[in-house]
Amino acid sequence: MSQPIQFNKRTVAYFALNAFGIFIIYLLKDFITPFLGAVIFFVLFQPIMNGLTTRFKISESLSAILIILLSFLIILVPTYVLSYMLYSKLTTLTANPEQLLMFLNKLDEAVLQLTGKEIFTEEIITKIQTETGKLIPELLNKVFIILGHIGIMYFILYYMLVKRNQLNKEVNNYLPFELHNIQLLAEELRSQTLSNSIGVPLIATIQGTAAGLGYWLFGVPEPLFWGIITGFASIIPLAGSTLVWAPAALFLIFTGELWFGLGLLAYGAIVIINIDNVARFIIQKQFADVHPIITVFGVIIGLNLFGLPGLIFGPLMLSYFIIFIKMYRAQYAAKS
């Protein structure tokens, strides 16, 4: 006969604290993305913060402000440039809908000649125009949300940097692991963070540059813009950059540039795809040996949870989870 569960004050307090903690996390769920961003920046810039305060004798507050400005210039300015380019494109399309109609009609004629089927009916074209008109208000709404998250992220980051010694001490006190395992955790977290937050964008830059060169060689309009878009698309698992250069090649073929289109298809299959594999092998090995499966499933999880920032946060969360499993096995499983 099973014994009834004995609830003492300690057990009640334990479950009450956990329930209260989960409730607080639920209330703050909209701020998880800024918090994760602050954690990534903290891991990346903590050595620089230590150098500014110890070697150059700069105050804690001023050092934190300098790091915030540095991160803004290095990371957020390129993001702003891309957003501005996309916004300009959408503004042009909505201000001059006849350009979009001319393009769709031209593409539809080419497809009709090749396949005998009409793709863009009047109903579809009207729907495309309507949806395009909705994009700018939605984009502006997203921009305000992102700006708010950036402000919260930097607010958290400032106090994490200024109070970093106290923060590290509190983390060491609350983690249920021995000190040497915590030190190993910190080092592996740093290498995983570098691999995902620096290696992935660097690989995307290399692939985007290669794609932009191909677009220029084979006559794709505005190769710089589409090269940047290809770089961002390369982060998406499985399809990646193919989502951009393959339709670009088909566009050339359908609009009468057969040889240029076939050339871009060959260039994409030989150069763009393989340069991604080569760059990933060389660059990510310098930081941490991240398995491709972690990257793929991490991106899928991250996109579902956080949207676009999940491209970075997702693989990091999965990497952190695996690190904690390793630490648990080393700390407890081996002793059981």
Measured from the Cβ of residue 91, the count of other Cβ atoms closer than 10 Å reads: 13
In the chain, domain spans = 30-174, 176-336
Note the pTM of the prediction, 2 decimals: 0.73
136 contacts 91 by C-beta, under 8 angstroms: yes
Residue 184 DSSP label = H
Task: Please report which residue ranges of the chain form alpha helices under DSSP H.
Answer: 9-27, 32-54, 60-71, 77-95, 97-115, 122-162, 164-174, 179-194, 200-217, 223-233, 242-254, 258-267, 273-287, 292-306, 310-331
Q: Are 155 and 250 in contact (CB under 8 A)?
A: no
CB proximity list for 119: less than 8 A, separation 6 or greater = 107, 108, 111, 112
Computed over its alpha carbons, how large is the radius of gyration of the chain?
25
Scan for tokens 């505005």, then name that residue: 222
- From first to last of the 336 residues of the chain, give the pLDDT tens digit: 455 555 577 788 888 888 988 998 888 888 888 888 888 889 888 989 999 999 888 999 999 999 999 888 877 777 777 767 766 766 666 666 665 566 666 666 666 666 666 665 666 666 666 666 666 666 667 777 877 888 899 999 999 999 998 888 888 787 777 777 777 777 777 777 777 777 778 888 888 899 999 999 998 888 888 888 888 888 776 677 888 888 888 888 877 788 888 999 999 989 888 887 777 777 766 666 666 677 777 777 877 777 666 767 777 778 778 877 877 777 776 555
Q: How many Å apart are CA 217 and CA 200, to the nearest integer?
A: 26
Structure tokens at 49: 């913060």
Q: Which amino acid is at 152?
A: I
Please give the helix or strand (H or E) that residue 58 lies within, else none.
none
Residue reference for tokens 């639920």: 26
